[in-house]
Structure 1
């Protein structure tokens, strides 16, 4: 499945229409103008529906920068005309947030994928052949099941595939990522597509990597972790996180850098999460529950010399304890 993605500019326009309608008290005249804008181009309607959908799930305050801008709007009402304050919001929040929102919507859009998950969501799907597909946060896949193949295209994010034990001669079970074509057999494995590579972790059974350069198969065995990129396949002798733990609602770390841990936690929440350079290399090991990332973050100062600096609910920076 393919579909054009709305540009950040169009997404920003959709946000502006939403704010104008909210500011006007949903005036009929402005609502009609918004309808005309939506019907002018398919991309306009697509952006509008996505903004509405995301707004229902997140509330506008989830946008990076928007919380500060909305607070500015609320307090500046006492000094500025509301229209001027709204213009300030458009200039401050939207310019900083539209690109982020467009990226987030493109990442986990149920409108352009057969199966998808939102931020912090995990879902399970029974496939036509009896295999079990589990998607982690911000993930999207397309399926092609026909007489010749069973293909799962991982467009974004991470999946856990438990292959059906039933034999399907002539119909290989394939997972396609940007970096590799994987073939699963009776077993269970995790595939994660990052910006620069694909990570594969085999929990049970074996996985074959099809190598178009020489036509041969590279076999990945149970208990192995691999990195696949444009330079080839690389066995990872040590990993700092249990690959499949998310399917049980956990992050399980082994001597993991704090900066890498925060990057992992940020996949399950909206907004920005970072740390100062002087604590980035601190290490932590443990089992952390994903059901509430905010509660998880509150645990860190109890076990590490760090404190949470909250600029807003959605913008958190960890710093060394003074």
Structure 2
């Protein structure tokens, strides 16, 4: 089949540009095989990373048709079926670009150092205390080891990092890859630093609370690690041991749930005061939202009363069932 590759190329200190390459390939040819063909037969200056060619090493991660993926895993046939872009001659088009949220070195090669630096922030290895077991191995039961399988499947390809909306607007956010590894360590029976780890992951929007739950990391992960789900488990662990007075992110979650349980939806009159104003304890917080409150009152947008929603009892029952199920799951 005929296909046109449109590759976003870039040289150091220069602006990116789109270059087109026409190929004759089999529908089952992978994106990586097509890039190899371009490099070997049309333009030897094209730069990209590759290694295992078997979805193991994660080296060939890039953006294919607007989403981050492994070039050795995706093939031309599926890409042209899922994304029906064609050029002026009616030939299917596959667009390839470097990963997002990382500096471009050249063409499809990005500088992964920020990715590794963020991973290092969660100390992604069993604690020193856990490793100090004299004269014997630190054994785990099959059940204990099985709990680590999903997070252990991460190949650090960077796809989730590339798509992370939170990272794109908040450089301090540690990233979904790091938090997925962090959850693995919280689950690991050999690690002895769970309390300290949870405290560090509670670092406002730099830690677990920085995740905006956009789901893109789950969507693009080639190994089904589900980083967003792992981040959710960290948040649940924090909520279980923290009170509403510990931090604003914790307060935000707890107040949200409490208000919905009470009235079926959020009572906006109380939400800002309880979360930002810390139940009237944080005078600076109250002062920060006071101008907004006055503007809302003057424009008639501040609710003077609150009517519980229809079905409040049913909503409350559902929340309590979920909370009970979470307790049993963590038992």
State the TM-score, normalizing by the size of structure 1: 0.30
Q: State the structure with bigger RCO (CA 8 A, min sep 6), 1 or 2.
A: 2
Whose strand proportion is higher, 1 or 2? 1
Whose helix proportion is higher, 1 or 2? 2
State the TM-score, normalizing by the size of structure 2: 0.29
Larger Cα Rg: Structure 1 or Structure 2?
2
